[in-house]
C-alpha cells in the first residue's frame, strides 16, 4: 500500500508576519525576538533531517505556480527597499515571490539550509509531495486568527482563541488528520490565513506518524502565531 507523503521526513510550521524580518521590524521587540527564536528552532529541526528538497508552502502562489531559482520577494510594501531571494541570487527576469515564501526563504537562509527549494501554494502541495523523489522537508508558512484581541486587524472574536487552540493541539500532537479537518469557512471568518496551508499539509501527510514539538502559541499583536516542528517517527 502506498503511504501518502512517505517521502516527507520533517515539517516546520511558522507564521508569516513581516516583522519576522529584522529589516522590517526596525527596533527590536521582545515578542518578535521570541517568535524569531522559536522559528529558528523549528526550521533547525527541519534542516537536521538533511532533506534533498524543501517545499515552502503558503498563500499567494497561484495554482500550478512554482517559486524557484531567481525569484525574490520585494519588501518595498513594508517600507524597506530590499529583496529576499528565494533560491540563489535574484534574477532581473525572476518573479515576485509572495510574502509567505519570502519569509520561508529567509528562515531557511538563517538556518543554513542548502537543500533545493520549491515554493508552492496550498492546492499544489499534495501532488508535489506525491511526485518528487528523495527525502523531503516541508516548511508551512501561515498565521492563526487575526481576531484575537480588540486591537487585532479583525477586532476581537471570542471564537478566535479556541480555534487557534485546536490548531495548537494538533500541531503539538503531530495530528495531520486534525489539520486536514480544519473548517475553511471558520478559518476565513476568523481571518486565520494559515488554514489552507495547514489543511494541505494535513491532507498530504494523512496516516503518517510524527514526533512533534510545539515551540510557540502566542498572539502578541492580536494575531495567532503558532510554531512547531514534526519529524517522521
pLDDT, one tens digit per residue, over 62-78 is 999 999 999 999 888 88
Residue-level pLDDT at 140: 98
Q: Note the pTM of the prediction, 2 decimals.
A: 0.96
Q: How many beta carbons lie within 10 A of that of residue 107, not counting itself?
A: 25
Asked whether the beta carbons of 50 and 75 are under 8 A apart, the reply is: no
Residue-level pLDDT at 3: 60
Diameter over CA atoms, the chain: 53
Alpha-carbon span 116 to 100, nearest angstrom: 17
Angle at 191 between CA 224 and CA 8, to 5 degrees: 65
pLDDT, one tens digit per residue, over 4-54 is 678 999 999 999 999 999 889 877 789 899 999 999 999 999 999 999 999
Residue-level pLDDT at 1: 41
Of the candidates 11, 12, 19, which has an alpha carbon nearest to the alpha carbon of residue 223? Answer: 19
Alpha-carbon span 14 to 194, nearest angstrom: 9
pLDDT, one tens digit per residue, over 88-146 is 889 988 899 999 999 999 999 999 999 999 999 999 999 999 999 999 999 999 999 99
Q: What is the mean pLDDT of residues 191-209?
A: 97
Q: How far is CA 66 from the centre of its chain?
A: 16
**Could you give the residue ranges of the DSSP H alpha helices within the chain?**
22-25, 30-48, 99-111, 122-131, 160-173, 176-180, 184-189, 195-204
In the chain, what are the domains? Answer: 8-232 (3.40.830.10)
Lowest mean pLDDT of 82-91, 129-138, 170-179, name the range: 82-91
SS3 217: strand
Amino acid at each position: 500500500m502506498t503511504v501518502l507523503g512517505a517521502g516527507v521526513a520533517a515539517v516546520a510550521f511558522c507564521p508569516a508576519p513581516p516583522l519576522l524580518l529584522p529589516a522590517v521590524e526596525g527596533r527590536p521587540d521582545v515578542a518578535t525576538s521570541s517568535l524569531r527564536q522559536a522559528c529558528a528552532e523549528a526550521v533547525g529541526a527541519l534542516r537536521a533531517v538533511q532533506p534533498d528538497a524543501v517545499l515552502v508552502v503558503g498563500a499567494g502562489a497561484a495554482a500550478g505556480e512554482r517559486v524557484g531559482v531567481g525569484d525574490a520577494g520585494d519588501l518595498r510594501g513594508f517600507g524597506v527597499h530590499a529583496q529576499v531571494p528565494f533560491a540563489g541570487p535574484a534574477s532581473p527576469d525572476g518573479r515576485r515571490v509572495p510574502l509567505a515564501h519570502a519569509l520561508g526563504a529567509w528562515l531557511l537562509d538563517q538556518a543554513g539550509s542548502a537543500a533545493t527549494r520549491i515554493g508552492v501554494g496550498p492546492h499544489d502541495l499534495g501532488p508535489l509531495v506525491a511526485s518528487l523523489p528523495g527525502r523531503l522537508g516541508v516548511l508551512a508558512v501561515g498565521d492563526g486568527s487575526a481576531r484575537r484581541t480588540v486591537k487585532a486587524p479583525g477586532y476581537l472574536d471570542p471564537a478566535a482563541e479556541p480555534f487557534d487552540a485546536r490548531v495548537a493541539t494538533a500541531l503539538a500532537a503531530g495530528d495531520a488528520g486534525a489539520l486536514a479537518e480544519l473548517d475553511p469557512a471558520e478559518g476565513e471568518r476568523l481571518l486565520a490565513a494559515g488554514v489552507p496551508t495547514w489543511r494541505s499539509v494535513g491532507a498530504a501527510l494523512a496516516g503518517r506518524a510524527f514526533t512533534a514539538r510545539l515551540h510557540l502559541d502566542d498572539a502578541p499583536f492580536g494575531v495567532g502565531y503558532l510554531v512547531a516542528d514534526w519529524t517522521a517517527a
